[in-house]
Copies of this chain bind each other. A is one copy, B any other.
């Protein structure tokens, strides 16, 4: 069995730096909601293992985990390390089947060290891929892009697929997987630079900078016969426009709502029910954890598409745990080019 490639050196440490959630954000978590503190390195008990984190994942979903609003997961308690996925190396193990030196991708939090049980593991990093890609191409981004598109979007050859946050960690993969499955792809993104990336790197047939075009008109021009699948990471005005350009029987995959800063109170928008009815849409919500039974098969597909050069994920790796606190707000402000990771040094 081949292992991960591009493994960075790890500096020994005596203390565990932790990014604690110390303020409850009303909307997007910002640097001021976190505090970095040091604790002693924890010791694994029976059935547990100790990992040393290497790459911390920064994900839009962390906004929901930091919020006190009802959500699909429990809020992170104030004073606790921020919930996060990470790629880590096992330092000590008292858990069966897990050995020192294994590389894992799992729920290890924004910190240097974590004691965990095997349930915290999402996947094991056993393939010949750069180590960081286990938190990207084969991580939450890749699994989300694949499973949300294929299981909810149900793409068919010749379908027109539109994607919001088209250059992002999930969106860029959705566009590439859509192409691999024979779709015509339209990407919506927030700068000319990202639109160029969409066309030149992610293979979108059309890329639109939503800040510089009239989105309803541009979608009508780009998809004159209608959008068959709208893969939405933004919500808001882009969703409103896409709903009104869907083809009959179109699928709307709600994977995120990044454009809406606060849901308290819920913002208003043009009512959607007539579009759902007359266009016979199927509008469904995607949360990755519902689809865990399909992770292994999806990872096979992703690795195969990667090996054949059909998909790749641009990583934006920032160095230093002190950059973690401000990084969620960066995503929501569009200040990232691809999937962001924090590399611990």
Contact = CB atoms under 8 A, between A and B. Distances in A.
Contacts of A276: 254, 283-285
A252 to B, nearest CB: 8
B290 A284 contact: no
A256 B278 CA distance: 9
A232 interface: yes
Interface stretch (A113-121, A259-267, A307-315, A327-335): A259-267
A284 B280 contact: yes
A257 interface: yes
Contact of A285 (B267, B279, B287): B279
Point out which of A257, A265, A271, A279 has the most chain B C-beta atoms below 10 A from its C-beta. Answer: A271
Contact of A271 (B64, B235, B273, B277): B235
Interface string A50-72: 00000000000000100000111
Contact of A280 (B277, B281, B290): B290
21 contacts: A64-B278, A72-B248, A232-B273, A235-B274, A249-B290, A257-B274, A260-B271, A267-B271, A268-B271, A269-B269, A276-B284, A276-B285, A277-B287, A278-B287, A280-B286, A280-B287, A280-B290, A281-B283, A281-B284, A282-B282, A282-B284
